[in-house]
Structure 1
Amino acid sequence: MKRMSRNQNRLTSGGLNLVSLMDVFTILVFFLLVNSSSSDVMEPPKNIQLPDSIVETKPRETVVVMITPDQVLVQGDPVIATQDVLESKEPVISEIKERLALQQKKVIGISTKTVSQSKEVTVLAQRTVPFRLIKKVMASCTSAGYEKISLAVIQKAKSKN
């Protein structure tokens, strides 16, 4: 009888180690969070129609300046009205320059640090926006220290001629 009671205690003492299981799930969650934010395709907003082009390179993650018929936005935040930019005689728009400079200081995490340090900006402009407006926005970007400027376009298939 004594032997049976001792053996019975040994059998029930085994269990699942929850600490190591929690560690594995924590690492898995962090891995998925870090890798879920990276995307290769930049989707333009529905209210902006981009021009078509045959492009080979994939878009990179950069600071985004959008030009709509109504306003200019930096990273989705409205900066100035489009009409004010067109009426301005200045080649560099100070509001855009200041917002881009502020964007470099607003760094949260490794991915945004890489984006802000790349000194690269992507301009998404409605295809009906006049080029002089795009030119002023590009001048403001270079004035703020962004040397590489990319214009976003819609990729279309190559024609087989």
Structure 2
Amino acid sequence: MRRMGRAKKYKSPLNLTALMDVFTILVFFLLVNQSTTEILESPREIVLPESIVETKPRQTVVILVSGEEVMVQGERVASLADILESPDSDIPYMQERLQRLQESVIGVNTQTVAESKEVTILADRAIPFKVLRKLMETCTNAGYTRISLAVTQTAHQG
């Protein structure tokens, strides 16, 4: 009983050094992994062309062109077969969707995207140029004059 009584009298203070080390490592990890660049993730069914890219991507309206359909900011606007068969050089529903994006500004990020009048096209490398030309013409008719084509960055050979 005496030993138990003595053990209760001597409480060791909490060692904060190890706890502070863990928090310091956590803060450094979060600071290092905070990314300032935005990487556009392309779906698995789309194989982007390769290029040596020097500039970083900006936040823009994204047009995704797969083997079957065209999507603007995640909303399906046309099928690839309809675009190929259409004699028009414009895609009406896509132009409407682009104009709606300009009008429906919510928040700072959306306002920046709408004011930039810039669009990024993620298209599979097997997509015919005729389709890309119609997409680009529709974008310029809707007021989006800066068009970027997304590519996969490769190492600089020099």
Separation in 2, partners of 1:59, 1:91:
28
Superposed displacement of residue 40, structure 1: 2.1
SS in 2 for 1:45: coil
Superposed displacement of residue 145, structure 1: 0.3
Superposed displacement of residue 42, structure 1: 1.5
Percent identity between matched residues is: 49
SS in 1 for 2:62: strand
Paired residues, number: 125
Question: Corresponding residue for 1:50?
Answer: 48
Aligned positions of 1:134-149 closer than 5 A: 134-149=132-147
Cα pair 2:37 2:56 within 8 Å, conserved: no
Separation in 1, partners of 2:47, 2:104:
29
Q: Cα deviations across residues 101-157 of structure 1 (Å, max 9, x unaligned)? A: 011112110111001110000000011100000000000000000010000000000
Question: Corresponding residue for 2:88?
Answer: 90
Aligned positions of 1:44-123 closer than 5 A: 44-123=42-121
Q: Which amino acid in structure 2 is aligned with residue 103 of structure 1? A: L
Separation in 1, partners of 2:35, 2:75:
20
TM-score (norm 2): 0.75
Root-mean-square deviation (CA, aligned residues, Å) is 1.5
Q: Does 1:131 align with 2:129?
A: yes
> For residues 89 and 120 of structure 1, do their structure 2 counterparts lie closer, same or farther at Cα, with a shift above 3 Å needed?
same
Separation in 2, partners of 1:150, 1:70:
21
Q: What runs of 5+ residues in structure 2 fail to find an aligned partner?
A: 1-33
Question: Corresponding residue for 2:23?
Answer: none
Separation in 1, partners of 2:89, 2:61:
21
The 10-residue stretch of structure 1 (138-147 or 104-113) with the greater mean CA deviation from structure 2: 104-113
TM-score (norm 1): 0.74
Q: Which runs of 4+ in 1 moved over 4 A?
A: 36-39
Cα pair 2:37 2:57 within 8 Å, conserved: no
> For residues 71 and 62 of structure 1, do their structure 2 counterparts lie closer, same or farther at Cα, with a shift above 3 Å needed?
same
Q: Which amino acid in structure 2 is aligned with residue 116 of structure 1? A: A
Question: Corresponding residue for 1:26?
Answer: none
